[in-house]
Structure 1
């Protein structure tokens, strides 16, 4: 890639990054400032609209309060019909939909409806005009405005006047809020129910206090009579809103909303415009950076081409200097490169002359000149190398003779060392053979011990199994003994039954004797029952004797089983001790095997070292012979240098 292209890319990349950062920051600020402005607009609109609605409601309550002081209605001579007739006139004059008068018990003079439990009635009785919640009626939704009706002295409340208003005027006010095509507004009561909405299907169907998230927070703020703005989501639609409580109402509040998509559309339009401007600026800056890159790159490319030839050893080309460079950095760079090229040529020429002399064994060369700055380090280094080589050749010539004599003596010592090492290697080989034989015998003993240990373990398992079976036998004998005791109880029960049966037979015989001739048949039966009872008693006695005999035998078997169990227990304990002792013997034998193996390895290592020493001694002897010959050769070479 060419230099001007790279410079253009660098400038372009920096410009792209800078403009992108500026653009992203501007877009971010635009987004958040626009969002804050939208929230502010919605909040201000909700506050102004709440004041407008509050003013209308205050006006209606004032009209109702004036009606409560009307001299015709307040007159003591006015009948209920007169009051209703006058209310009809006032309702038409003030624009109310309907009217009514309530007595102090809350009963309507018009249709006898009871309003005593309504908050607006209680407020009117306390002397304050009030507005009710919005309620559904035949034609839609309406609310009631109530005020106290005073007597002629205007000091005592005698009745309550009421007017009803439909919510059409509220709809008109909300519909007039045309902030955008998707903006809308709605009213909620103190319970969070939607009471007025441009979409009548939502009236009395939605309660924001029951919603989760932001809508619930909005309701909490309104219950605290706080004005604000917030974003919420309803039916998967993001909505921006401002909210404000309505003064003078019975807890009503207004919410002015706008779809988030409308705000995003406006932001996107501004974003597209800004992107277009940024693209135009980017293209302009890229063109300018391309022109500047060409101005900078051309002289640098010329310097680069010259330095490339110098890098391959071509000093034939010169760099053309620029006159009057002043503060133009590229011109200064070009002139500096030309100066550096001339100096390099001089240094290379001087270095070449000295090195050519050294290549011809001539150390009597003239020294290099002195150069400015770090270039002088090269001159000093070359001069020092020449001096060092001169001194080195002299010292090497002197040392060569010493090396020749020493190498001959070293050769003789190496031969003697090789012979001694050979003898030592033979002795170690015999030791290795004996250690290997001992290790094999120890391994054989270890294998035999493992076999015996395994047999002892098997015998121990068999003894333990027999001990377990004997334990089971003792338990079975105990169970049989317990069952025999139960059988003995059953036999006792049978004997008792036989005794009772015999008594029954005797009683039956007595009764048969009393019955005379009529009891003969029953006497025969009683006699047979008595005989059967005697047989049962004899059989139970024999069974008891057999059980006692069986119990004595079981007791003897129990004693034998306990004795056998004790013997097996002692055998198990002794076999465990034998097995433990044999395991210790086996462990010691295994340790001996490992020790013998380690000794064998160490002897082998010593043998290898001795073999290596022997080979090294032989190589040393050969090397010293070669060293002696090389010393003679080096002495001949040193004589060629001129020092």
Structure 2
């Protein structure tokens, strides 16, 4: 602590700033690293869990689709036909059918193993080969389109009467043959027991005809017309499951994803070179146990199938027959945590850089502060030597050093003001004496009515307002006197003009009164005429309204007529349709009567009476047809006349519509004319009343004109008296007579103590508060 107390500020301040800041940055970096690691782990958990769940769903969907597809094909006519024909041809084959077909389609097949399906027709002339020629291409296309390893057809005796690839199991019996205990034998033996719409699926197991490769089969019985005729089976391609599981970027370089059954055997191959294969027994790992327990789990630290540390995620897969498979995804922990390691390095680097930046900022801050303190010490030394002309630097800074600079500047101003106070006081007293003398002379002239003199000497700033006020008073009074003189002359001239105009106005007033009487009489006549016209227009308006109402009623009648005519036309059409039906009935009756007559003729004598009746019926039918045609012709003519009537009524309706619109327009115009007439009548009445009032006002004006004439003569006399009194004042025209000694100018003050808001020696508390809130952001 003693070393720290004696240390210079240039070292002490940076250390006290940088060390706590670096510690805070390191703690923040560690917390950020922890949060980043947790976020990455949560991201891994979410991504890996979603991956295994989606892949499990895809495997389940693939198995379910295969089951549905198998049931669907077993119910098709093509499979039923093919199975019946293959079975019949097998039974009808002359000779050792199994040996011959195996020789023709396997041993003597020119195509290599795996491509035996290329042979479509063997040249043996057998019925089986002809059936094979008809169905093989279609069945093979179906097998290829679905991606199955192979497709098999069995008869009810267990004979494999058809397969696509003709492997070593072709044309053998799977009830008691060499492969009866294989997976294909199991799938037949169980499938033949099922009912329509049921299926059977085997476990994944080695299959000898396929070189002991792991295989899985699915079968269902085939029914035709309610009778079981055989079994159709498929061999599922296990590599499809491997492709489904491996199709993701999440696997990375070291990722491993696999299926495992309840016995702990792998159901898929390992991605690693030299890794496990399908049906290999896997070690009893915790993630495998978790997968077989069902549900989804995330294991942050586990041992992988190859013995390395891994991050594992597990899920389950339910097969169509209800078995539970385990789905495990593993990835080396080193690969999974590489993002965390990168974040650790990045955080450490960022923390180091931040610490260095903080140290640099602390050094720059202290360096700037020390330089300002040194400048402040130099300025204080200048003030102690009574050198007040130097400006104090740093006054605009808002930190503690800026506060000291402002306080020192106030002290400098007060010391300078004290030195100048005595000289200034002497000059002020001398200037005040001269100002009093000049103002006294000006007031004397003002009292005498002499407004010509102005004070032009320079006054001190505090007395300039007095000088300007006196000069403004002189100028104002001078201007007032001149204005009064001009106004008096103007009043005199105006009074003369008023006196001359008064007589002329009296004559015009009398003439105006006579004219107003005549005008009032004429307006009365015009008012009566307009009132009569208004009454006629109102009568016309009522008549037009009645016409419009009748036109509207006629329009409604025409509309109802159109609707009635339209209904008549529709009824005519319906009657025509009924007549057509009657015509058809008459034709059919005529035809039946004709047939009856022919049959009666064939009957001979026994059918003679029936022939007469048939002849009469034909006659009635013919007359009915003729009558129906006449009615139809009349209805058509009536319909044409009704149509013409509808058109004429429609035209009448259109004409009435136009008439109604025109009547409405006329009604509106007549209403406007009536309203205008009423307004004119009212306006003329008001004008007539106004004329009467104007006549009365005119008579009053005549009396007032006489009074104005007398007042004009009095005004002329008063104006003459005013001019005489104004001439006694002396107005502008001569120079100022003041001659006083000049006013001395006071020395300029750079800055007074009053310019500061507070006394510097009373700011101890703000100083401390400001230091507490300083953030060291200004250098």
Provide the TM-score with structure 1 as the length reference. 0.41
